[in-house]
Amino acid sequence: IVHRDIKPDNILVTKAGKIQLMDFGASLLESAPKITTASLAAALGTPDYMSPEQVEGQRGDVRSDVYSLGAMMFELLTGQPPYHGDNALAVMAQHVQSSPASIRKKNRQVGTPLEEVVFKAMRRDPELRYQSMMELHRDLTNLGSVDASRLGAERARVSSSTNNGASDTTIWSRSVPAWAMVVVVAIAAIAVGTLLIAR
């Protein structure tokens, strides 16, 4: 199942502390051949978290959900969505044309590995993102093993080829603070839940 509308409003934390993904009104089976007219409006998603391919009217796949989760992580770590605009169309256009600004410039407590994981989840080209929620979950729960320098170099190459990259590609060495690890664990739980639903 491809959810296609992952956003904070669709994440529920129960009294028992379990994290659940809600509202499958825009979802599709990965094997579904196309978006029907009846589901087109729901399929559009939410501008702040839409993947570039959704903006362009494509049906998307699990990598679209990876992008949306990356956009949500960006907001959790910086306090604001990755893109801003005067209206929904302006925000949607930035998902297609721009790359997110440096997370560390907005929040210096965030370590480079976590920043690079978010940036990889938000690559504009689906082929360059994490290819599954399991891949994203693996890096989120093993930040100490993430090769941030390699991911940063990949991002720099993509930025150079498009001439429109993130403003900061410097690699720092910094441990992830305790509060950030709490965020990581929460997001990882969401990723695992989405993966289990997809199965």
Q: 77 near 107, Cβ under 8 Å?
A: yes
- At 152 the pLDDT is 77
Percent of all residues in the chain with a pLDDT value above 70, rounded to a whole number: 64
**pLDDT band at 159; cut points 50, 70, 90:** low
Measured over the CA atoms of residue 167, residue 135, residue 45 and residue 77, the dihedral's sign is negative
- At 189 the pLDDT is 60
- At 7 the pLDDT is 78
- At 5 the pLDDT is 72
- At 101 the pLDDT is 94
What tokens were used for 108? Answer: 């210096």
| Predicted confidence (pLDDT) at residue 156 exceeds the cutoff of 60 | yes
Per-residue burial over 85-109, b if 16 or more Cβ lie within 10 Å, else e, is eeeeeebbebbeebbbbbbbeeeee
Positions annotated as catalytic residues are 5
* Mean per-residue pLDDT, 152-178: 54
- At 174 the pLDDT is 44
Tell me how far apart the alpha carbons of residues 151 and 1 are, in angstroms, rounded to a whole number: 28
The full set of domains in the chain, from first to last, is 8-198 (1.10.510.10)
pTM for the complete prediction? 0.74
Indicate the DSSP class of residue 177.
Answer: P
- Please compute, for residue 94, the number of CA atoms within 13 A of its CA located in the half-sphere on the CB side: 18
Q: 109 near 74, Cβ under 8 Å?
A: no
* Mean per-residue pLDDT, 18-32: 57
- At 184 the pLDDT is 57
* Mean per-residue pLDDT, 105-123: 92
Q: What is the pLDDT of residues 28-64, one digit of tens each?
A: 545 455 544 444 444 567 899 999 998 888 878 889 9
* Mean per-residue pLDDT, 70-94: 93
| Predicted confidence (pLDDT) at residue 94 exceeds the cutoff of 90 | yes
* Mean per-residue pLDDT, 65-87: 92
